[in-house]
Chain A
């Protein structure tokens, strides 16, 4: 079986997380730019004296498909590489995946990873 590991992290941690995952044997991942907030909430900006609260702050979202047995390791690798210890570091979660297919070959399941 396969799991989807999704991490939403600080954009400036992306390079480290990517290298760490590569070193841990992950062969592919998808990165998207995202906006969001957690406990850190947003921040304020001032334009010609008008103050705005910006709720959604820039984040990076990483999706990795992982075989069951590697999930715990991958999650640990992401946490270690993305952690700064400050509020706003993000979240990692895991969801089960019913099926995965490699488009080029038509392989299914763990063979497609």
Chain B
């Protein structure tokens, strides 16, 4: 295939890559505001640390493992484009759109970065920074790159003739008849990070005083600011995933917005009925739940379908954040409730809501739904197993937790030698009721 530079598409993808990179500092604010004042810096540093490690790893072997020549449907050859050596515009991921190889690398690298950072919310206030940094580099290598390859790089969960869907429902013109749909990362990003968060939260254990001592968010304006930055950056994430500055990008933009609006309203209504108030934390959480859920679906639904998807995701995620109290795992900032649940909801609802005779409600049969459920389950099992093994190895070697003294006294001071504020808030008592 010849490569002809398309400056419009290239400009949009460069802008999109920059937008998506902004999401991770945005996430640092979203998470940072939700923890207590004594651990906000550590929380934000987990995001910034992920940028540092993954940004380098992606260039060295990440792109190659994601989009290099397929090995067994699971990964790309790690050393084929090591250090981006030997990469050509013609053969690169967005070459079809006239976007140079390095712009495609930039765009994809930002996805790997935020996926790792998302996990950190589940293990707030208690995780050794050194272990986290090592985890970031290994987990992205063993879980993210393979999954990105499987879904987007022509591997097992793609429309490849050797893939899962082709094996079940056959091929048409050399590709799977029922192409799995993950537009911008419902499986690769959100289910992947969400299940890893669940595994680590259980493995690392609860914060001291979980569900007994006050752990209310110390700065809700930070949370709102973070949600706003995430929303803004998400336009790069979803509309950029069109790969071009075209109508699909426009559809993804509109779908992303209406689904997010609907999810925010859904969350607020749910908590108004349950808790009596429509809260700012609920609005910020609903925004993120909507963004997560529309991610896999942004290019496959019409705007009305996106509203339906958004409101369902908002309500379900608002209910799902209570699960940790029922089951007793300390997913501190609800990565499971928002990203795993939101990712599964979005990925599966595509089976109902995808247009063009694919979704059940839009003229399709159940095949798309079956495939969507299967790719969600595959991502859960793959990432769950990899994370468990890696988590156990790190537990036995480096250890995951800071000392109890450091945790109680504040991880900011103990680990980073800093405190965020001159004074810390006082004044709240025990949790008297959790739902």
Contact = CB atoms under 8 A, between A and B. Distances in A.
B434 A49 contact: yes
B288 to A, nearest CB: 12
Interface in A45-102: 45-57
Most chain A CB within 10 A, of B217, B276, B428, is at B428
Interface stretch (B71-79, B114-122, B278-286): B278-286
A47 B428 contact: no
B431 A51 contact: yes
B13 to A, nearest CB: 36
Contacts of B435: 49-51
Nearest to A45: B216
Nearest to B433: A51
A19 interface: no
A51 B275 contact: yes
Contact of B276 (A46, A48, A52, A56): A46
Contact of B426 (A44, A47, A50, A56): A56
Q: Which of the four size classes fits the interface of chain B?
A: 20 to 34
A24 to B, nearest CB: 32
A40 interface: no
A47 B334 CA distance: 12
Contacts of B86: none
A47 B279 contact: yes
A33 to B, nearest CB: 10
Interface string A18-42: 0000000000000000010000001
A44 B321 CA distance: 19
A49 B282 CA distance: 9
Most chain B CB within 10 A, of A48, A49, A55, A56, is at A48
Contacts, number: 63
Given A46-B279, A47-B279, A52 B216 contact: yes
Nearest to A51: B433
A54 to B, nearest CB: 5
A49 B216 contact: no
B285 A35 contact: no
B434 A50 contact: yes
A35 B426 contact: yes
B162 to A, nearest CB: 43
Contacts of A42: 429
A45 B431 CA distance: 10
Contact of A50 (B276, B282, B325): B325
B270 to A, nearest CB: 10
Given A47-B216, A47-B217, A53 B275 contact: no
B399 to A, nearest CB: 29
B427 interface: yes
A71 B227 CA distance: 53
A12 B12 CA distance: 51
Given A52-B432, A53-B432, A47 B281 contact: yes
Given A35-B426, A52-B214, A52-B216, A46 B431 contact: no
Given A53-B428, A55-B428, A48 B282 contact: yes
B282 A52 contact: no
A49 B271 contact: yes
B207 to A, nearest CB: 13
B274 interface: yes
B328 interface: no
A48 B334 contact: yes
A77 B82 CA distance: 78
Contacts of B431: 50-52
Contacts of B217: 47
Interface of B: 211, 214, 216-217, 271, 274-277, 279, 281-282, 285, 318, 321-322, 325, 334, 426-435
18 contacts: A35-B427, A42-B429, A45-B216, A48-B281, A48-B321, A48-B322, A48-B334, A49-B274, A49-B318, A49-B434, A50-B431, A50-B434, A51-B275, A52-B429, A55-B428, A56-B426, A56-B428, A57-B427
Given A35-B427, A46-B275, A55-B427, 5 more contacts: A42-B429, A47-B217, A48-B282, A49-B271, A54-B427
Interface of A: 35, 42, 44-57
